[in-house]
Amino acid sequence: MDLTVKTLEGKDAGTLSLKEEIFGLEPREDILARMVRYQLALKRQGSHKVKGRSEIARTGSKMYKQKGTGNARHHSARAPQFRGGGRAHGPVVRDHAHDLPKKLRALALKHALSTKAKSENLIIIDDLVASEAKTKGLLAKFAGLGLDNALIIGGSEVDGNFKLAARNIPNIDVLPVQGINVYDILRRGKLVLSKAAVEALEERFK
């Protein structure tokens, strides 16, 4: 698969041949859905918590005598059925993460890349470098490339000026190639890869 390489100014900078086994797969929604669920589960704090009856600071003495009142038999006022009592079967602090095989995670990333390539939402940029950290100038370049909702992936290190200039632009995410992930690829309209990022990905999936 051959794609035209662009510069930030929107000019052509040659072509780049992409590997079919990474960018040319037939996307599978089930694999992508499993990976997104895995990532979102990892992000959950799991810190939601309510107090059970053993944690309520109320007296544990019997509410009233067992017989002779005509009321139902009760003991502790901490029981869930009473106002101010503990919560029954409420949420507790826990880890929501679950396992997903390493090979499946790698395959999901390939399918996410292939999804963008197939829908023609993949753009290859020659070099992600800004001469100065000015958001206005970078915004004009993005407008020329048609980027209003995009994930931009640089090499192992993203140019400092470029990162500073892009961080205040809405719906634009900038990550080094080590941070590329399925969820961020799918949540943005376009995927922008630098040539260095493509080389790193092809080296990673050798």
Tens of pLDDT, residues 88-123: 999 999 999 999 999 999 999 999 999 999 999 999
Does 111 lie in the same domain as 40? yes
198 and 112 within one domain = yes
Q: Which of 194, 204, 201 is nearest to 152 (CA)?
A: 194
* pTM for this prediction: 0.84
Which of 8, 33, 4, 6 has the alpha carbon at shortest distance from 129? 8
| HSE, side-chain direction, 13 A CA sphere, residue 141 | 20
**3-class SS at 153?**
strand
Do residue 103 and residue 129 come from a single domain? yes
Looking at the structure, tell me whether residues 87 and 119 fall in a common domain.
no
Say what the pLDDT of residue 66 is. 95
- Letter for the amino acid at 93? V
Instruction: Verify that 91 and 108 share a domain, yes or no.
Output: no
Residue at a domain's end among 68, 95, 122: 95
CB atoms under 10 Å from CB of 137, counted, come to: 14
10-45: per-residue pLDDT in tens?
888 899 999 999 999 999 999 999 999 999 999 999
pLDDT in tens, 154-183: 999 999 999 999 999 999 999 999 999 999
Backbone angles phi, psi at 35, to 5 degrees: -70, -40
**Separation CA 14–CA 135 (nearest Å):** 27
pLDDT, averaged across the chain: 94
The residue among 95, 115, 131 that closes a domain is: 95
149 pLDDT band, cuts 50/70/90, is very high
118 shares its domain with 164: yes
Closest CA to 148 of 126, 130, 127, 166: 166
Q: What is the share, in percent, of the chain residues with pLDDT greater than 70?
A: 100
Same domain, 90 and 101: no
Q: Cα 17 vs. chain centroid, distance in angstroms?
A: 28
Q: Are residues 115 and 155 in the same domain?
A: yes
Q: Which of 76, 95, 114 is the last residue of a domain?
A: 95
The domain in which residue 89 lies consists of 47-95
Q: What are phi and psi of 53, to 5 degrees?
A: -65, -25
Q: What pLDDT is attached to residue 60?
A: 84
Q: Are residues 185 and 128 in the same domain?
A: yes
Q: Given pLDDT bands bounded at 50, 70 and 90, which one contains residue 1?
A: confident
Q: Is the pLDDT of residue 81 over 90?
A: yes
DSSP reduced 3-state for 122: strand
Is the pLDDT score of 206 beyond 90?
Answer: no
Q: How many domains does the chain have?
A: 2
Instruction: Please tell me what DSSP assigns to residue 82.
Output: S
